[in-house]
Structure 1
Amino acid sequence: MTEPSPVRAPAAVRHFDRIVDLVFAALTVVIFVAVALATRVHSPWSAAIPLALFLGALLLVRRRWPMTVLLLSIAALFAYHLAFWSPPGWIWPASAAYFTAAATSRVRWVTVIGVAQLLYSAIDARRIIDRNLSHYLIHTLGEGLLLAALLGMGLAYAASVRWRNRPSGLEDSTT
């Protein structure tokens, strides 16, 4: 049996969704570049700005291809961190991608991907331990808490959408 095709959202909702995507894309670009500049990136046009623009552009299609956007975001961040070691985090530049992917039926894969990325980030940042242990702990625990919050918000959003879209004839049987 095939599932019925989803009902298309009203134009006002689709318009609002596009605005939200544009805001997320712009915030990603601005914040990533600002953090890169604050961490003394010598030539932002060589990598930081192109990466920020790429991450922002990906967010414009995050609703259509959430897992693809997440994986491309992580691959781009990984390549950036390999080429230019930089303090900016691993999880936060892909926050909107994590949230969107966590709201899909592939949340277990999103969790595995996030934990793997977080572990790599913790290992990659180990050189900070000798200089500043508290900075390392704040970095690692902060990224872990952010990942947990993004996954939780994605799950909560998906549950609220399912609840809103449930058949109206069903009543709460707990009464």
Structure 2
Amino acid sequence: MVESSPVRAPAVVRHFARIVDLGIAALTVVVFVAIALATGVRSPWPAVIPVALVLGALLLVRRRWPMTVLLLSIVAIFVYHLVSWSPPGWIWPIAAAYVTAAATSRVRWVAVIGVAQLLYSAIDAWWVIDVNPPVYFLHVLGEGLLLAAFLGLGLAYAAWLRWRDRPDLRDDSGS
């Protein structure tokens, strides 16, 4: 019996994936810094730019090590949050890490990690409930919906990959 070697994606597909990864990494750096500046951070060098660069670099290897990238991204955000004021939308930089990790066989762990991060966010923002309860609940609800969207996108992407790689699941007969 002849063993078949794994099919390698065409060069155009591999290069496109690298370009997408570079774009996501660059966008992460720009958006993270822009949100920080727009929300009152005066000097981005002490913490914002280094964390943005770390998050961007992590996203370059997210396809190879999705769970590691997700965990390290969360650690980077957590450390940033401890040493500096954290602007709203701090879950944004790890969106691609969540989606990529959710597309793996470890989606349950991704959900557990996401719920833990959501709980941390809810506890951390608890002071807002005394000032403005609707804002607090919208914050928690919004982050929960983002988490659900990331998990859903990852599951949909994984399903699409399975469908793409299994010709017996596709109906190409045109009927």
Give yes or no for contact 2:67–2:101 (8 Å, CA) kept in 1. yes
Aligned identity (percent) is 76
Structure 1 length-normalised TM: 0.90
Q: Are 1:91 and 1:118, in contact at CA under 8 Å, matched by a contact in 2?
A: no
The change in CA–CA distance for 1:107 and 1:86 in structure 2 (over 3 A counts) is: same
- Offset of 1:27 from its aligned partner? 1.2
Contact in 2 for aligned 1:39/1:86 (Cα 8 Å):
no
Unaligned runs of 5+ in 1: none
Alpha carbon RMSD of aligned pairs, Å?
2.0
1:138 aligns with 2:138: yes
Count of matched residue positions in the alignment of Structure 1 and Structure 2: 170
Q: Deviating runs (4+, > 4 A) in structure 1?
A: 169-172
Maintained 8 Å contact 2:163/2:169: no
What is the TM-score with the length of structure 2 in the denominator?
0.90
After superposition, the Cα gap between the structure-2 partners of 1:15 and 1:133, relative to the gap in structure 1 and judged at 3 Å, is: same
- Whole-angstrom CA distance in 1 between matches of 2:149 and 2:32: 20
Q: How far is 1:120 from its partner?
A: 0.3
Q: 1:169 to 1:96 in 2, by over 3 A?
A: closer
Determine the structure 2 residue equivalent to 1:63. Answer: 63
Partner of 2:31: 31
Aligned-partner Cα distance in 2 for 1:33–1:171: 43
Question: How far apart, in 1, do the equivalents of 2:169 and 2:118 lie?
Answer: 41
Q: What residue is the counterpart of 1:19 in the other structure? A: 19
1:9-68 Cα offsets, whole Å, 9 max, x none, are 110001110111111111111111111112211321000111011101111111011111
